[in-house]
């Protein structure tokens, strides 16, 4: 059996994230993704024809192929194939993992992978009736698990978890407050890195704010009990956005001294559909065991904050260091563009690598991304600094901008 080819993230970009109906609401998912893909090609110093494949996650469109539309809008040649993946919240990270496997096996050398979602422009979903005289019936979401499995609403499942584990509203509110604080502190870092959509698109995540504990506690309970219930402050808002990475075979990449992340582990797995919030725990434990490392060995861990309680229980179970958890802020502070959220985590890890500062720090960098999805799915990615990425070099104009 031939050895796997090492794969690196050579570049990573995303748009700003904006709540549904907000600053990005006029753009379709592919329109959000296109400028990100084009920027990655430029970041990598590639000709558009050097891209072998485009793979994007998308959860809400339920048809078509947004990845193909995005690739063509980005100026890639029509000969470049494109694939759209739907594993709901895991879609963006699963798209990256699929691309990694393709490169590892030699099926491709260079792939653009990530996710795109427009909550604002997603189609209205309706069940087609069996008889022509019956009107179609609209529905909010499809089934994620068939009988006899439980298929709870995700917010209700998170509220049940909070009650079972005794995670109070106050504790959840404090967690959300810290997420916003970290995101606000990273404002200038992100302003220089986010890709603007159109001429007037935002250059910052628009939901991030100075959230006080008092304000968070005043938010009404949306589901659950008075003591442990979930509110608008502790549930990530529905959002629009896109994120992607440039993946390359390490031996195919020209070593120009730019930082890169080598993929050292990745896993998509499943758990009990009744408790979807807990699925990332098993993924993380498996990845850590395979690599022979512990949570303390990571410089940064990006954990999806769809619900504060979900992230809190996962972090507590895995004994994650709060200082290394979502260091640039989490989804509670920016929003949840479902099919893109997993890819956002990968982009955040790359950004954290760039901001490590000293060369020894970069050389020791190791990161992990974890996300859960409806139906009891979860995905994880482990990365470390690629060798040959710490040479001194002047910043390019694009990076300064």
Whether 393 shows a pLDDT value over 50: the answer reads no
Q: Are strands 110-118 and 53-57 parallel, antiparallel or unpaired?
A: parallel
The answer to whether residue 89 is catalytic is: yes
Predicted local distance difference test score (pLDDT) of residue 267: 98
Percent of the chain with pLDDT over 90: 84
Predicted local distance difference test score (pLDDT) of residue 390: 39
Q: What is the mean pLDDT of the chain?
A: 92
Whether 191 shows a pLDDT value over 50: the answer reads yes
Predicted local distance difference test score (pLDDT) of residue 347: 97
- Write the CATH number of the domain with boundaries 7-122+236-385: 3.40.47.10
Whether 256 shows a pLDDT value over 90: the answer reads no
Predicted local distance difference test score (pLDDT) of residue 379: 98
Overall average pLDDT of the 18-39 stretch: 97
Highest mean pLDDT among 189-193, 249-253, 316-320, 383-387: 316-320
Predicted local distance difference test score (pLDDT) of residue 357: 59
Report how far residue 77's alpha carbon sits from residue 66's, in angstroms, rounded to the nearest whole number.
Answer: 16
Residues 51/109, Cβ–Cβ less than 8 Å: no
Overall average pLDDT of the 146-157 stretch: 96
State the pLDDT confidence band at 251, using cuts at 50, 70 and 90. Answer: confident
Whether 41 shows a pLDDT value over 90: the answer reads yes
Two tokens, residue 380: 């994880």
Whether 23 shows a pLDDT value over 50: the answer reads yes
Residues 386/260, Cβ–Cβ less than 8 Å: yes
Predicted local distance difference test score (pLDDT) of residue 63: 79
DSSP 51-71: --EEEEE-SS--SS-HHHHHH
Q: Check residues 125 and 289 and name the one with the higher pLDDT.
A: 289
Whether 397 shows a pLDDT value over 80: the answer reads no
The answer to whether residue 180 is catalytic is: no
State the pLDDT confidence band at 13, using cuts at 50, 70 and 90. Answer: very high
Overall average pLDDT of the 38-59 stretch: 96
Q: Check residues 364 and 368 and name the one with the higher pLDDT.
A: 368
Options 53, 89, 110, 180, the catalytic residue:
89
Report how far residue 36's alpha carbon sits from residue 128's, in angstroms, rounded to the nearest whole number.
Answer: 35
State the pLDDT confidence band at 396, using cuts at 50, 70 and 90. Answer: very low
Ordered by start, the domain boundaries in the chain are: 7-122+236-385
Burial class (CB in 10 A: 0-12, 13-18, 19+), 154: buried
State the pLDDT confidence band at 399, using cuts at 50, 70 and 90. Answer: very low
Options 90, 180, 336, 356, the catalytic residue:
336
Percent of the chain with pLDDT over 70: 94
Report how far residue 72's alpha carbon sits from residue 69's, in angstroms, rounded to the nearest whole number.
Answer: 5
The whole-model pTM stands at 0.94
């Amino acid at each position: 059996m031939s050895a796997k080819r090492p794969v690196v993230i050579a570049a990573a970009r995303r748009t700003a994230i904006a709540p549904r109906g907000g600053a990005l609401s006029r753009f379709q998912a592919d329109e959000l993704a296109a400028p990100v893909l084009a920027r990655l090609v430029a970041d990598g110093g590639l000709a558009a024809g050097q891209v072998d494949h485009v793979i994007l996650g998308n959860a809400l469109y339920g048809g078509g192929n947004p990845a193909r539309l995005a690739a063509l809008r980005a100026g890639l040649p029509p000969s470049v194939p494109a694939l759209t993946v739907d594993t709901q919240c895991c879609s963006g990270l699963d798209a990256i993992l699929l691309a990694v496997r393709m490169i590892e096996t030699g099926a491709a050398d260079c792939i653009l992978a990530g996710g795109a979602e427009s909550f604002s422009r997603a189609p209205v979903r309706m069940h087609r009736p069996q008889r022509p005289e019956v009107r179609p019936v609209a529905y909010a979401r499809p089934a994620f698990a068939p009988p006899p499995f439980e298929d709870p609403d995700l917010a209700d499942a998170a509220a049940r978890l909070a009650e079972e584990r005794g995670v109070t509203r106050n504790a959840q509110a404090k967690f959300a407050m810290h997420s916003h604080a970290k995101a606000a502190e990273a404002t200038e870092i992100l302003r220089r890195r986010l890709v603007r959509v159109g001429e007037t698109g935002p250059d910052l995540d628009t939901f991030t704010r100075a959230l006080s504990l008092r304000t968070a506690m005043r938010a009404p309970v949306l589901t659950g009990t008075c003591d442990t219930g979930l509110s608008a402050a502790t549930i990530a808002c529905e959002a629009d956005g896109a994120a992607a990475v440039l993946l390359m075979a390490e031996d195919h990449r020209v070593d120009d001294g730019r930082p890169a992340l080598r993929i050292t582990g990745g896993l998509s797995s499943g758990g009990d559909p009744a408790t979807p919030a807990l699925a990332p725990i098993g993924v993380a434990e498996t990845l850590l065991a395979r690599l022979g490392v512990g949570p303390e060995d990571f410089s940064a861990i990006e954990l999806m904050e769809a619900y504060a309680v979900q992230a809190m229980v996962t972090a507590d179970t895995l004994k994650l260091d709060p200082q290394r958890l979502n260091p640039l802020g989490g989804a509670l502070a920016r929003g949840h563009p479902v099919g893109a959220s997993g890819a956002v985590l990968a982009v955040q890890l790359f950004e954290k690598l760039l901001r490590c500062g000293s060369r020894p720090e970069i050389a020791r960098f190791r990161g992990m991304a974890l996300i859960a999805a409806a139906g009891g799915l979860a995905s994880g990615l482990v990365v470390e600094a690629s060798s040959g990425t710490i040479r001194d070099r002047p910043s390019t104009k694009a990076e300064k901008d």
